[in-house]
């Protein structure tokens, strides 16, 4: 029988419930337990797929094509486990399911209400992962938002009911709160945590454990005070002080014994956890002998969470290269306009040893991406393009190398004389935007002897996708005549997945999203290769400067 842990948050949002949940999953897995994590979001969108990156941050895509909250990326990275669409639930999907049943008459004329119908559906989804995975030991469910939010009430009520219906030893509640430090008073304040727990208890949920976010360790006096007023033992109050890296968080919580008391609460007898490999990884991460700078030329750089998996992938790639990757954020719109010449481009990328152009949608900032790619190609700067980055790379090469004047994408310009990028056949005639792109993992065959084959170390790979437009096959021969290598294709040869440009230290672009499969102890080959090439460029520049 599976055990269930519920993670809630209070006081303010963005405290790091996802990191706390992922860290607990990491520690329980280190104890030999089979762990599944899931995220329940109270918003009414069916999924985040149609939401702006400025609103929601990155949309994380799973193997089965589910478009999910970015916290599922943390879950996969911290536990090295592939999740599926059943691991993310929104209020929108709950209501969509219930209303579909109501239209079919499945409620037999009854009035459909939040209680019991909405809460019953939420409880069913809590159990679903355990039912589909009979070997699972612990299901960790994170509830999005903050206790007190009106939209989150049905989810918290469902948890209250669920815990009441299960044996006492089969469920546990972890509540994450903020313990602020007031500079003027020179002390931390526990009252926000007390109020948050009081709000949770008023709903009928007594937390078993508190994880207190703070700039510094909260200290024994504050811990005892919090425990007293929140009605739980002092050794069930843990501090989650600010860490230099999120990958330190599991180790910090383990040192305080969180995983041990959670297992005790759930009646789980486990092996002693082995966190030695994680500790070694964190040590390399925190003490890199080298540093390298890579520019990310994006459209959503005002909100870094829009590129969360890319940020983490660079951290992962730095570990085997024994280097810290400093990300230089460049707004692609700043690279547009007549005043942006070669001199200004050189100034903007002067201290960068590599350039990455990530994915995105819409025509805003496209010319800036194209200009950055041209600068990387002409100046031998290691370059990696992802999704839209591949499409912009072919637009640039089409215009400046192949001789296709005004080459473009049908997404941005329906009247372009040379649509080197066009709408996929499977996407034509689709009206609804949600969940209709080419989504999830697809196989790819890599050309022997190519840079991609060298990086992957194999010629059959699988990567995750999220796109509607593709390379126009009508132009493939023209590009190949100009030296472009289509080094990765779908098994039937119809879809271009990887593009390389010859006579360049590192110029590679992919239609898929490699960042979605990177792990801290298993850096993605393409990011690892880009960082290695950037380090080589940095070394050559240093040798040249030294004379």
Report the alpha-carbon distance of residue 163 to residue 210 in Å, rounded.
18
CA–CA separation, 470 vs 473, rounded Å? 9
506 contacts 533 by C-beta, under 8 angstroms: yes
Residues 166, 169: Cα–Cα separation, whole Å: 8
User: What is the distance between the alpha carbons of residues 325 and 322, in angstroms, rounded to a whole number?
Assistant: 10
For the question of residue 513 being annotated catalytic, the response is: yes
Residue corresponding to tokens 């008023």: 202
| Cα–Cα distance measured from residue 201 to residue 173, given in angstroms and rounded to the nearest whole number | 11
List 58, 67, 312, 515, catalytic entry: 515
* CA 37, 42, 45, 51 torsion-angle sign: negative
Q: What are 292's strand-pairing partners?
A: 325
CB half-sphere exposure, 108, CA atoms < 13 A: 0
**H/E stretch holding 455:** helix 451-456
Q: For this structure, is 387 an active site residue?
A: yes
Residue 194 in contact with residue 180, Cβ under 8 Å?
Answer: no
The per-residue DSSP string of 481-534 comes to HTT-EEEEE-TTS-SEEEEE-SSSSSEEEESS-GGGG-BTTB--HHHHHHHHHH
Backbone angles phi, psi at 129, to 5 degrees: -60, -40
* DSSP letter assigned to residue 145: S
Is the separation of the CB atoms in 77 and 250 below 8 Å?
Answer: no
What region does 337 belong to: left with phi over 0, alpha with psi -120 to 50, or beta?
left
Helix (H) or strand (E) holding 127: helix 119-132
Catalytic pick among 68, 230, 263, 387: 387
- Supply 132's token pair: 């589909």
Torsions phi, psi of 430, nearest 5? -80, 130
Write down the catalytic residue from 117, 254, 504, 513.
513
Asked if residue 401 lies in contact with residue 408, where contact means CB atoms within 8 angstroms, the answer is no
Q: Catalytic residues, which ones?
A: 387, 513, 515
């Amino acid at each position: 029988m599976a055990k269930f842990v519920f993670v809630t948050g209070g006081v303010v949002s963005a405290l790091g419930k996802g990191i706390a949940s992922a860290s607990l999953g990491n520690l329980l897995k280190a104890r030999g337990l089979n762990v599944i994590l899931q995220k329940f979001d109270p918003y009414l969108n069916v999924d985040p797929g149609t939401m702006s990156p400025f609103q929601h941050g990155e949309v994380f895509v799973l193997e089965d094509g589910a478009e999910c909250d970015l916290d599922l990326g943390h879950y996969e990275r911290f536990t090295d486990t592939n999740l599926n669409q059943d691991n993310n639930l929104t209020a929108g999907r709950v209501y969509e399911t219930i209303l579909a049943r109501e239209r079919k008459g499945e409620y037999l004329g009854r009035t459909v209400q939040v209680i019991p119908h909405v809460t019953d559906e939420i409880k069913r989804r809590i159990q679903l992962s355990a039912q589909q995975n009979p070997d699972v030991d612990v299901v960790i469910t994170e509830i999005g938002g903050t206790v007190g939010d009106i939209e989150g009430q049905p989810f918290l009520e469902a948890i209250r009911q669920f815990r009441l219906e299960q044996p006492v030893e089969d469920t546990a509640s972890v509540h994450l709160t903020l313990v602020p430090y007031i500079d003027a008073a020179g002390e931390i304040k526990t009252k926000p945590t007390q109020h948050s727990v009081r709000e949770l208890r008023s709903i009928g949920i007594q937390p078993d454990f508190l994880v207190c976010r703070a700039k510094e360790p909260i200290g024994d006096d504050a811990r005892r005070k919090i425990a007293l007023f929140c009605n739980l033992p002092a050794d069930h109050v843990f501090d989650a002080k600010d860490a230099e890296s999120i990958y330190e968080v599991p180790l910090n919580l383990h040192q305080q014994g969180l995983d041990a008391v959670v297992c005790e609460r759930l009646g789980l007898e486990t092996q002693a956890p082995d966190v030695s490999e994680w500790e070694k990884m964190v040590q390399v991460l925190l003490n890199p002998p080298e540093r390298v700078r890579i520019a990310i030329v994006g459209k959503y750089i005002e909100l870094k969470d829009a590129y969360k998996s890319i940020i983490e992938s660079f951290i992962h790639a730095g570990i085997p290269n024994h280097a810290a990757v400093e990300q230089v954020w460049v707004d692609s719109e700043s690279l547009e306009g007549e005043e942006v010449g070669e001199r200004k481009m050189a100034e903007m990328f002067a201290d960068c040893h590599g350039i990455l152009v990530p994915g995105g949608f819409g025509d805003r900032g496209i010319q800036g991406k194209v200009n950055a790619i041209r600068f990387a190609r002409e100046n031998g700067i290691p370059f990696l393009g992802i999704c839209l980055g591949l499409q912009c790379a072919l637009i640039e090469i089409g215009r400046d190398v192949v001789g296709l004047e005004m080459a473009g994408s049908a997404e941005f310009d329906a009247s372009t004389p040379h649509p080197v990028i066009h709408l996929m056949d499977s996407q034509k005639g689709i009206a609804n935007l949600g969940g209709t792109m080419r989504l999830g993992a697809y196989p790819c065959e890599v050309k022997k002897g190519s840079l991609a084959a060298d990086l992957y170390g194999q010629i059959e790979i699988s990567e995750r996708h999220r796109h509607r437009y593709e390379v126009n096959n009508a132009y493939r021969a023209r590009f190949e005549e100009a030296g472009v290598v289509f080094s990765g294709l779908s098994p039937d040869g119809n879809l271009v997945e990887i593009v390389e440009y010859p006579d360049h230290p590192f110029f590679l672009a992919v239609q898929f999203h490699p960042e979605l499969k990177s792990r801290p102890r298993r850096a993605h080959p393409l990011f690892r290769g880009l960082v290695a090439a950037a380090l080589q460029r940095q070394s050559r520049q240093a040798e040249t400067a030294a004379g």
